[in-house]
Structure 1
């Protein structure tokens, strides 16, 4: 069989080794450093983004706690004002007749929805006449 002949197999092995070593040198000296540099920069970018996300979330939680404390403080002030003023005392809310007030608020909300809806107002066509035309 000619493919197993000793004369033919040695040049094939030689050229296989030469091409493999050249390919290996080109990959390790040119492409591998670029690939590793890209991986390293991606890792650094992810690290910086994680730190920034942590900083933003920490600021957000800090501002939420400050807002919560501020709201609780002002709510206690409002409670003091309501408790000190006898006309604003809500402890006897069961005896108050709030049905008329609730109906009035309902009518006002209904009218504001019906007459202040931007889609309805935009659908109304208005013809403008010039002041100077006779």
Structure 2
């Protein structure tokens, strides 16, 4: 059988080993370092992005807590104002004096117009609902 002849097999094995070792050397010395640098760079980018995401989420939760605190403190101030002024007290809807409330709202709107920017006031949407509606 000519396929298993020693004269034909040894040169094929020799060139296989030569080509394989050259291919291995080229891959390990030229392409593998570039590939490893790319992997390390990607890993660092992912780590930096995770740190930035955690910082942004921490800032967001801090800002939410500050906003919640400000809203609660201002809400308590508004509650004090409503409780101090008898015209704004809505505990009993049948005794409600709408004339006094309308006068106070008109004074507040007049002061806002005099001392605030009209563009800011135009951006505020006011919807009036009756107390007696169901």
Both proteins in one fold, TM over 0.5: yes
Answering whether residue 38 of structure 2 is matched by residue 5 of structure 1, we say no
Q: 2:19 and 2:96 mapped to 1: Cα distance?
A: 97
Contact 2:82 2:89 in 1 (8 A): yes
TM-score, reference length from structure 1: 0.70
Q: Any unmatched runs of 5+ in structure 1?
A: 99-103, 107-134
Contact 2:90 2:96 in 1 (8 A): no
Q: 1:70 and 1:40 mapped to 2: Cα distance?
A: 45
Q: How many angstroms does 1:17 deviate by?
A: 0.5
Q: Relative contact order (C-alpha < 8 Å, sep 6+): which is higher? A: 2
Q: How many angstroms does 1:59 deviate by?
A: 0.5
Q: 2:52 and 2:23 mapped to 1: Cα distance?
A: 42
Q: Any unmatched runs of 5+ in structure 2?
A: 99-126, 130-134
Q: How many angstroms does 1:97 deviate by?
A: 9.7
Equivalence for 2:92: 92
Q: How many angstroms does 1:48 deviate by?
A: 0.4
SS of equivalent residue, structure 1 residue 87: coil
Equivalence for 1:114: none
Answering whether residue 15 of structure 2 is matched by residue 49 of structure 1, we say no
SS of equivalent residue, structure 1 residue 90: coil
Which stretches of structure 1, 4 residues or more, deviate above 6 A after TM superposition? none
TM-score, reference length from structure 2: 0.70
| Root-mean-square deviation over aligned CA pairs | 2.1
Deviations 1:79-134 (A, max 9, x none): 01111111110111366599xxxxx948xxxxxxxxxxxxxxxxxxxxxxxxxxxx
Q: 2:95 and 2:8 mapped to 1: Cα distance?
A: 112
